[in-house]
């Protein structure tokens, strides 16, 4: 599926179609009783049990150990509505649950503790996607809460954005422009607004079988200066200016204000070898970070990130290899697939509980460089059962200003998956990261933050067992 289509949402579900025109007429609703409304429904469910272990996670706190084991699930239900006469659609997806299992009581409080159930409350229901899609001639408009992906998940992966999106086909080229409101924490505090403007295209390159995608991104210059000019108010989403008369409060500045970026990729094949490569280049950010030693700035100068993938398939086998690199604190998404379960491979709205470190999260630290080489092989043991294994070498070089560590370690991974039928799949993963002086584990939203210590004398082991249902 092209990035042009996935900029709004993924569309991997089998659809169940139904016409509501009879119901509309019977109820006497609508100005035009002959107009039909098409509905599409979809379900996406996943459950996981996971285990992570490292001596580096032991913080010497009474009652805490160096390993964690847990369960989690999400259930997302989609309901889409299309007005057949005009083609206008409303796309909705609701996350009915999406939390780590914490026991009978989820600690979500009913209104004033007056409800049928106040002792065993479940997860909160929240909006996952919700936008309107309007075709105007050859132009497609989308407004609302949308899914964001680009550059094979290298720039952004499974994110959610409050977005205004317009796309139009111009010959073979699919061109698009969009606006995202990335942050707006306080009213009448425009300094905290994260305004992102973007334009780009995806296109096949003639009949060569190659495809090209590229975009340019600009963050509005709502703030220019040192981050320390705005000191956090504990427990509050707003910040207080340390130099404003009377301590006037204002929203926290968006750290990428004034910055620009270019992201581009190509995909194709040379003979039997599939090839993908791409890059992210961030530059000219206006927010200086003088609050964290060694951080210096947020991509004020040029930060690079790039990848190259090659792969081939024959009989029941698939072989792949890739290189991922960053220079001067270059940026890439946590969700980029590294062929491992412990490094990145952690989509932004669908957390991977065994991902403990992500390449590309230094946000512009000069001379902070990372290189990750990974080889992967997969064999279909049967039509439904597949076994995969990966081995990689991760090199990280941190400048003296941020600690000065530099090291290389091996990364090992394995996955066994069983596709029972078209909608139900189960899979098991196991990953091992060798000790590395320059790896400071970051964790994920299911196990929480594990920052603050490095893997200088410790390895990490992480495993998960998962089931997924999607239709």
Q: What is the pLDDT along the chain (471 residues), one digit of tens a residue?
A: 444 443 444 434 333 434 333 333 333 444 455 569 999 999 999 999 999 999 888 877 777 788 999 999 999 999 999 999 999 999 999 999 999 999 888 878 787 778 888 888 888 899 999 999 999 999 999 999 999 999 999 999 999 999 999 999 999 999 999 999 988 877 777 777 889 999 999 999 999 999 999 999 999 888 787 766 665 544 444 445 444 433 434 567 777 888 899 999 999 999 999 999 999 999 988 777 655 555 555 677 899 999 999 999 999 999 999 999 999 999 999 999 999 999 999 999 999 999 999 999 988 888 999 999 999 999 999 999 999 999 999 999 998 877 889 999 999 999 999 999 999 999 999 999 999 999 999 889 999 877 667 898 899 999 999 999 999
DSSP assignment of 243-260: SSGGG-EEEPPPTTTT-E
Report whether 252 contacts 236 (CB < 8 A). no
Residue 114 and residue 109: Cα distance in Å, rounded? 9
pTM: predicted TM-score of the whole model, two decimal places: 0.88
What are the structural domains of the chain? 3-108+118-470 (2.40.160.100)
* Sign of the dihedral defined by the CA atoms of residues 422, 93, 152, 1, in that order: positive
Question: What is the per-residue pLDDT for 113?
Answer: 79
Question: What is the per-residue pLDDT for 63?
Answer: 74
Residue 143 and residue 178: Cα distance in Å, rounded? 10
Helix (H, G, I), strand (E, B) or coil at 160: strand
Helix (H, G, I), strand (E, B) or coil at 240: strand
**Residue in 341, 267, 272 with CA at minimum distance from that of residue 307:** 267
The β-bridge relationship of strands 303-314 and 273-283 is: antiparallel
CA 401-403-409 angle, to 5 degrees, is 130
As a whole number of Å, the CA-based R_g of the chain is 24
**Residue in 180, 187, 297 with CA at minimum distance from that of residue 238:** 187
Report whether 356 contacts 450 (CB < 8 A). yes
The distance in angstroms from the start CA to the end CA of the chain is: 17
Token pair of 238 as six digits: 């707003």
Question: What is the per-residue pLDDT for 15?
Answer: 39
Q: How far is CA 24 from the centre of its chain?
A: 39
Phi and psi based region of residue 156 (left: phi greater than 0; alpha: psi -120 to 50; beta: remaining): beta
Phi (first) and psi of residue 57, to 5 degrees: -85, -5
DSSP state of 123: P
Element (H, E) at 342: none
Element (H, E) at 387: strand 385-397
Report whether 429 contacts 417 (CB < 8 A). no
Each as own residue / partner, the long-range contacts of residues 373-377 (CB below 8 Å, 24 or more positions apart, any chain) are 373/321, 373/322, 373/323, 374/321, 374/322, 374/323, 374/324, 374/338, 374/339, 374/340, 374/411, 375/319, 375/320, 375/321, 375/339, 376/319, 376/320, 376/321, 376/339, 377/317, 377/318, 377/319, 377/320
DSSP assignment of 65-106: -SEEEEEEEEEEEEEEEEETTT--EEEEEEEEE--B---S--
Q: Which residues pair with 282 in a beta bridge?
A: 261, 303
Question: What is the per-residue pLDDT for 35?
Answer: 67
Residue 199 and residue 195: Cα distance in Å, rounded? 14
Q: Which residues pair with 219 in a beta bridge?
A: 196
Question: What is the per-residue pLDDT for 4?
Answer: 42
Question: What is the per-residue pLDDT for 255?
Answer: 78
Longest dimension (CA), the chain: 73
**Residue in 137, 37, 53 with CA at minimum distance from that of residue 90:** 37
């Amino acid at each position: 599926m092209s990035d042009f289509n996935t900029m709004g949402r993924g569309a991997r579900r089998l659809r169940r179609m139904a016409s509501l025109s009879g119901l509309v007429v019977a109820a006497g609703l609508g100005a035009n009783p002959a107009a039909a409304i098409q509905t599409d429904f979809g379900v996406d469910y996943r459950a996981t049990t996971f285990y992570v272990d490292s001596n580096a996670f032991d913080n010497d706190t009474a009652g805490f150990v160096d390993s964690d084991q847990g369960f989690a699930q999400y259930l997302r239900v989609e309901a889409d509505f299309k007005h057949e006469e005009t083609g206008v659609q409303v796309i909705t997806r609701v996350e009915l649950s999406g939390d780590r299992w914490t026991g009978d009581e989820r600690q979500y409080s009913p209104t004033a503790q007056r409800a049928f159930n106040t002792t065993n409350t479940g997860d909160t229901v929240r909006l996952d996607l919700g936008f309107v899609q309007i075709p105007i001639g050859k132009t497609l408009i989308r407004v609302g809460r949308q899914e964001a992906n680009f550059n094979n998940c290298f720039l952004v992966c499974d994110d959610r954005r409050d977005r205004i999106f317009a796309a139009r086909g111009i010959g073979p080229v699919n061109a698009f422009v969009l606006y995202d409101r990335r942050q707006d924490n306080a009213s009448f505090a425009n300094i905290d607004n994260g305004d992102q403007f973007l334009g780009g295209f995806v296109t096949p390159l003639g009949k060569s079988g190659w495809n090209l995608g590229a975009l340019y991104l600009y963050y509005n210059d709502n703030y220019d200066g040192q981050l320390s000019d705005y000191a956090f108010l504990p427990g509050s989403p707003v910040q207080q200016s340390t130099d404003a008369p009377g301590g006037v409060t204002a929203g926290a500045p968006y750290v990428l204000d004034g910055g620009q970026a270019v992201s581009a990729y190509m995909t194709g094949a040379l003979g039997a070898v599939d090839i993908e490569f791409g890059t992210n280049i961030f530059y000219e950010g206006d927010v200086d970070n003088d609050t964290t030693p060694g951080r210096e700035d947020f991509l004020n100068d040029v930060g690079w990130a790039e990848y190259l993938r090659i792969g081939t398939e024959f009989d029941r086998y698939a072989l792949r290899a890739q290189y991922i690199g960053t220079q001067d604190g270059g940026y890439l998404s946590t969700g980029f697939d590294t062929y491992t379960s412990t490094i990145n491979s952690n989509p932004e709205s669908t957390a991977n509980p065994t991902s403990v470190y992500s390449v590309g999260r230094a946000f512009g630290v000069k001379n902070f460089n990372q290189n990750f080489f990974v080889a992967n092989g997969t064999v279909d043991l049967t039509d439904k059962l597949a076994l995969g294994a990966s081995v990689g070498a991760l090199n990280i070089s941190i400048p003296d200003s941020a600690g000065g560590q530099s090291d290389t370690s091996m990364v090992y991974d394995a996955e066994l998956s069983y596709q029972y039928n078209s909608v139900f799949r189960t899979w098991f993963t196991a990953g091992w990261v060798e000790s590395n002086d320059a790896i400071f584990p970051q964790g994920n939203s299911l196990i929480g933050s594990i920052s603050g210590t490095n893997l200088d004398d410790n390895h990490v082991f992480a495993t998960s067992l998962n089931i997924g249902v999607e239709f």
